[in-house]
């Protein structure tokens, strides 16, 4: 019975991602972010449960990546699509009308061709997860930004827009060139050879996990002081901390 527990938790990750995708399509980005957070929590919990119960399996590995593809791959792509669609004048031409009927969920009216660029994040996430599945060296560390960390980076943007209420931040985040640049950066980080430490706890010992605990404490301090603005800074902190920890150059 216990061997099914991690897989059940993984399915909760997938369910959270499915719900988040629905909210993202309906442009309720704050609710999409909430369910992505639930999914990331379950993603962390299933791995910990598998190690704790010593019930690792190949099915669990594959199921974990499939769930991450939805929660941390598809949803960030939809969110970036929505942000690009809300941004300023389209540099690739004017928006075209979407078919509106009583039988479809879309209620937005228009889609900018440029907005489809957001799904490059989804494609890059799929490639990153496929590479992870065949790379046996990514156990105590990762090569490239993990998809959950990238999802936090992308979904932090609508949260900052909604809850910080700053005209300066709003104009910056909804600048098309910023969103295009972030999409390109996200795609690169996901599939780069940067070595990043894994937030995997085999036990709760501070001695064995000192660096991870310090990172989590630093992140918590930033969240308390900066609120949602802290989220992209935590990802930057994660990358820089990993580079400092490994002492390796970026390829």
Render each residue's pLDDT in the chain as its tens digit; 251 residues.
Answer: 787 899 999 999 999 999 999 999 999 999 999 999 999 999 989 988 888 888 878 888 899 999 999 999 999 999 999 999 998 744 434 443 344 344 443 444 577 889 999 999 999 999 999 998 887 765 557 889 999 999 999 999 999 999 998 899 999 999 999 999 999 999 999 999 888 887 766 666 767 677 778 888 999 999 999 999 999 999 998 998 888 776 644 44
pLDDT at 107: 41
pLDDT at 203: 62
pLDDT at 76: 98
Token reading at 201: 């706890």
**Dihedral (C-alpha) 124, 125, 131, 133: value to the nearest 10 degrees?**
-160
Domains belonging to the chain, first-starting first, are 2-246 (1.20.120)
Report helix, strand or coil for 206. coil
Token reading at 49: 């449960």
Distance CA 56, CA 150 (A): 25
Q: Are 114 and 80 in contact (CB under 8 A)?
A: no
Q: Are 199 and 146 in contact (CB under 8 A)?
A: no
Which candidate, 100, 98, 68, 70, places its Cα nearest to that of 85? 98
Give whole-number Cα distances, 6 to 51, 135, 147, 153, 238, in Å.
Answer: 9, 21, 19, 26, 26
Distance CA 232, CA 214 (A): 18
pLDDT at 139: 57
pTM across the whole model: 0.84
């Amino acid at each position: 019975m216990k061997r099914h527990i991690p897989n059940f938790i993984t399915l909760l990750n997938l369910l959270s991602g499915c719900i988040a995708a629905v909210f993202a399509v309906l442009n309720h980005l704050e609710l999409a972010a909430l369910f992505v957070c639930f999914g990331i929590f379950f993603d962390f919990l299933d791995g910990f449960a598998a190690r704790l119960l010593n019930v690792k399996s190949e099915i669990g590995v594959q199921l974990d990546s499939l769930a991450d593809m939805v929660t941390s791959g598809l949803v960030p792509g939809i969110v970036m699509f929505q942000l690009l669609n809300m941004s300023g004048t389209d540099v690739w031409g004017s928006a075209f009308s979407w078919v509106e009927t009583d039988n479809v969920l879309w209620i937005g009216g228009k889609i900018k061709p440029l907005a489809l660029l957001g799904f490059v994040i989804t494609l890059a996430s799929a490639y990153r997860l496929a590479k992870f599945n065949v790379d046996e060296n990514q156990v105590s560390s990762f090569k490239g930004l993990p998809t959950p960390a990238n999802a936090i980076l992308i979904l932090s943007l609508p949260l900052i827009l909604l809850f910080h209420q700053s005209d300066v931040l709003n104009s910056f985040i909804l600048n098309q060139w910023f969103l295009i640049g972030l999409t390109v950066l996200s795609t690169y980080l996901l599939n780069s050879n940067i070595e990043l430490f894994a937030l995997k706890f085999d036990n709760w010992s501070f001695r064995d996990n000192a660096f991870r605990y310090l990172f989590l404490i630093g992140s918590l301090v930033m969240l308390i002081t900066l609120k949602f603005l802290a989220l992209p800074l935590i990802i930057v902190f994660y990358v820089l901390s990993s580079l400092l920890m490994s002492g390796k150059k970026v390829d």
